[in-house]
Amino acid sequence: MYFRLTQVMLMFFILTPLGVSAKEQRKGILNATPSKCVALNQGRTCYADVVFEISAPQAGDYCLRESESKRILQCWANTASFAYTLSFGSAESVSYELISKAQSDTLAVTTIEVNWVHKVRAKKRRWRLF
């Protein structure tokens, strides 16, 4: 019995990668936390404090901007990893992208999805003659 338990534990430790957690495996260049914002009713503005964590492949000049409006939120000079906190408020999902200032290339894109608890339903109109 003890020998079997030891074998199972040994196999578990051999098959799990050492030094790399699940969070580190999922991590990309641009991460937003939370990535979803929930409003009570459809069409209402959802508010959240979103933290963007950026880990660029090499040190350089980078900017974080909105994808559709191309409005720049924040820029950093000569860094490889940094964080930015945004007071998010929108009724629709919004995408953000990390760009390199030197080449103006888009390095990564993330989206903050806006969901709702209750969907707006059309009211039934009943006609009365009397």
Q: What is the pLDDT of residue 89?
A: 94
Instruction: Give residue limits of the domains in the chain.
Output: 22-115
User: In angstroms, rounded to a whole number, what is the distance separating the alpha carbons of residues 85 and 14?
Assistant: 39
- Tell me how crowded residue 54 is: count the other CB atoms within 10 A of its CB: 22
CA distances from 125 to 10, 23, 122, 128, 129 (A): 68, 52, 9, 10, 13
- 18-33, pLDDT tens digit by residue? 443 333 333 578 999 9
Domain covering 22-115, topology:
Immunoglobulin-like (2.60.40)
Considering the entire predicted model, what is its pTM? Answer: 0.69
- 44-68, pLDDT tens digit by residue? 999 999 999 999 888 889 999 999 9
